[in-house]
Amino acid sequence: MDVEQLIRTIPKAELHIHIEGSLEPELMFEIAKRNGVSLRYRSVDELRRAYNFSDLQSFLDIYYEGAHVLRTERDFYDMTAAYLRRAEADNVRHAEMFFDPQTHTDRGIEFATVIDGIWSAMQDSTVDSRLILCFLRHLSAESAMKTLESALPFRDRIVAVGLDSSEVGNPPSKFAGVFARARAEGLRAVAHAGEEGPPGYIREALDLLHVERIDHGVRCLEDSALVAELVAKRIPLTVCPLSNVKLRVFPSMKQHNLKEMLARGLRVTINSDDPAYFGGYVVDNFLAVHRALGLSEDEVRRLAENSFEASF
């Protein structure tokens, strides 16, 4: 089979998708209009032109502004339903979606409004899906703990907790107590680490947060002992190639280390991260890697198998 055809048709699981990062500009403007929210961009095209990021923080600034249009349960439903339709088109059979409650509760939106809208869309989709509550690491551990407590009445809808937002200067160790509480409540754990932050952050996430997956993790290759541990323990790494290039983690896709990670025996998966901002969903990420680095049929199958084996 042609490799590109295989990429498009093979069943996949997506394990690293921020649902707020799937909010396409067209839907953002539609929601803003019905909620009476003003955007500083005059058109979809002008907004898309602003997606020229220099680093993670420059992306986050515009990401949080986009999320500001979300106000009602219908808004969260529409956003989630749109992502799940797109995932289905990519033959994503299972999705584990991050959501960022603090982005919304800190501006007065009720936790229930957020999760009810997302959950309703999940029930109406043919894609099997789960929710992972992410804590914003640039905020305090106290804020994260408060968010966890707000989530506990909805724990039957949440499979795990995660850690995202500005990595540099916000090590996983900052949230050790919150993650311990989450695990005690029966929630599983993942964390963003080793994207812009150093390999030591991956080590902290494993040793102090006791995570089962590392989100990104591309900088692990700088520490051979860490690589050996990740391989031995079969810790999955949810890599997001288009995101890594868009945020300048790698200068170009040709310089991405995904093929080397596979060759070293790491349990790599391919994901879309924030697809509305980074230029592509799961199939787009697979194709970008294949066209730049050349994926074999066996590697495509291994990546797809990894995604299901690494899922919750």
Tell me, letter by letter, the H, E, C secondary structure of 3-37. Answer: HHHHHHHCCEEEEEEEHHHHCCHHHHHHHHHHHCC
* pTM of the model as a whole: 0.96
Taking 70 as the pLDDT cut, the residues of the chain under it are none
Give the H/E segment covering residue 5: helix 3-9
* Contact in structure between 118 and 134 (CB atoms under 8 Å): no
User: Residue 308: helix, strand or coil by DSSP?
Assistant: helix
| Count of C-beta atoms within a 10 Å radius of residue 279 | 17
Query: How close are the terminal C-alpha atoms of the chain, in Å?
Result: 30
The contacts found for 40-44 with CB under 8 angstroms, 24 or more apart, are 40/65
Give the model's pLDDT for residue 48.
87
- Which residue type does 116 have? D
Nearest to 184, CA basis, from 231, 149, 219, 213: 149
Within 13 Å of residue 46, how many CA atoms lie on the same side as its CB? 6
Give the model's pLDDT for residue 194.
97
d(CA 266, CA 231): 5
d(CA 288, CA 280): 9
Residue in 20, 195, 196, 204 annotated catalytic: 195
CA distances (Å), origin 28, targets 33, 71, 233: 9, 12, 41
Known catalytic membership, residue 110: no
Give the model's pLDDT for residue 42.
87
Residue 120, both tokens: 């309703």
- The pLDDT tens digits for 228-259 are 999 999 999 999 999 999 999 999 999 999 99
Give the model's pLDDT for residue 55.
85
According to DSSP, the residues that pair with 267 across neighbouring strands are: 236
Residue 98, both tokens: 């991050």
